[in-house]
Amino acid sequence: MARIGFIGLGNMGGPMATNLVKAGHDVRVFDLSQEALQRLKAVGASPAATAQEAVQGAEYVISMLPADKHVQALYLGEHGIADDIPKGALVIDSSTISADTARSMAAELVEKGLRFIDAPVSGGVGGAKAGTLTFICGGEGADIEEARPILENMGKNVFKAGAHGAGQVAKICNNMLLAVLMAGTSEALQLGRANGLDPAVLSNIMLQSSGRNWTLEVYNPCPGVMEGVPSSNDYQGGFLVDLMIKDLGLAQGNAVDSNAATPMGNLAAELFRQHSEQGNGSLDFSSIFRFFETLQNK
Ligand code: NAD
């Protein structure tokens, strides 16, 4: 059993922390949302009044926050918790943030006597609930190995992508591809529908053909084709359009810095941005399917 401080109990962090409680760890949690804190209290976690309190005596600190600014402020901001975390503790940031921020955070936290790995995840809210996430880690090999049993309480795959920041690079490569696949799958399903095909039948055909991909397997964007996914729940929950736009922005920034060409990622980013500008930023990203409907009607 480990003593874990867990900060950020949203769509992903909530079920991840729940799985750590179920695995028998002593989990002290904090979120700005009282509702999120109460949900974790109900499953046996210890709610803390502040982030500082959540990390008192912690051997491991895990954060699952929206973006760079939240992670930087949590650890190194005006009331940052870096000085409250016991020396030698391992900080595991599972948020999706820029590789540059992960590297600079690692340097500053190591300077303060802590250890750090970037460990962003793939697998969505379903994977977080089922404990089947993939962790994509950057950092010292020994730290990643030490974290492995804890990460395996929340996921089924733990990869070392490379040094600090490499986990974030691999994660944004994956999410850029996911955005392209979700947009492409939506476009194909809309084309089939415009020709009178049943989206469920077409999905099944593509699943057994060369267009097969993760969105068709477990996250179909067309309402009614698949049960238990956001498209069949009015695109509520899941992975928000605005978080996907954030990830595509990270990929675009990285592409500029590393002089890599990402024309498909850039186009996907543009489509998701237009979709968000129509007031859909808080819907699940598979709602890009609906965006293609609005284009058809023009
Ligand atoms: P979310 O918005 O549902 O949850 C974020 C939580 O952080 C909220 O509960 C919020 O109250 C809390 N928070 C914000 N600032 C805080 C602070 N200073 N102190 C304490 N709590 C604070 O987001 P999410 O969907 O859980 O995503 C979290 C991260 O995981 C993001 O970086 C996202 O890109 C990444 N991610 C999400 C998914 C997904 O399917 N949702 C999948 C993979 C990765």
For the stretch 262-287, pLDDT in tens is 999 999 999 999 999 999 999 999 99
Mean pLDDT of the chain: 97
| Atom 21, ligand 1: residue with shortest CA distance | 31
Domain boundary among 97, 130, 162: 162
pLDDT in tens, 231-249: 999 999 889 999 999 999 9
Q: Which residue has the tokens 């179909």?
A: 220
Tell which residue, 51, 39, 49, 42, has the closest CA to residue 76.
51
Q: Is 171 a catalytic residue?
A: yes
On whether both 100 and 42 belong to a single domain, the answer is yes
14 with 157, same domain: the answer is yes
pLDDT at residue 296, rounded to an integer: 74
Residues 81, 145: one domain? yes
Cα–Cα distance, 226 to 191 (Å, whole number): 19
Instruction: Please tell me which residue in 129, 156, 171, 246 is annotated as part of the active site.
Output: 171
Q: Are 12 and 125 in contact (CB under 8 A)?
A: yes
Query: Given pLDDT bands bounded at 50, 70 and 90, which one contains residue 297?
Result: low
What is the model's pLDDT at position 63?
98
By residue range, what is the domain housing residue 33?
3-162
From 162, 195, 219, give the residue that closes a domain.
162
pLDDT value of position 165: 98
Residue 239 near ligand 1, beta carbon < 6 Å: yes
Claim to verify: residue 59 and residue 157 sit in the same structural domain: yes
| Same domain membership, residue 99 and residue 64 | yes
Residues 201 and 286 in one domain: yes
- Domain identity same for 45 and 141: yes
Q: What b/e sequence results for 270-296 when a residue is b if at least 16 CB atoms lie within 10 Å of its CB, and e otherwise? A: ebbbebbeeebbebbbbbbbbbbeeee
At residue 191, the pLDDT reads 97
ipTM confidence: 0.99
Asked whether the predicted pLDDT for residue 45 surpasses 80, the reply is yes
Domain count, the chain: 2
Dump pLDDT digits (tens) for 60-95. 999 999 999 999 999 999 989 999 999 999 999 999
Beta-bridged to residue 46, according to DSSP, are 28
Q: Which of 118, 141, 162 is the last residue of a domain?
A: 162
| pLDDT number for residue 298 | 60
- State which of 16, 28, 29, 32 you would mutate to test the pocket of ligand 1, scoring each by most atoms of that ligand within 8 A of its C-beta: 32
Residues 17 and 56 in one domain: yes
Whether residues 186 and 237 fall in one domain:
yes
Q: What is the pTM of this model?
A: 0.93
Q: What is the CATH number of the domain that holds 147?
A: 3.40.50.720
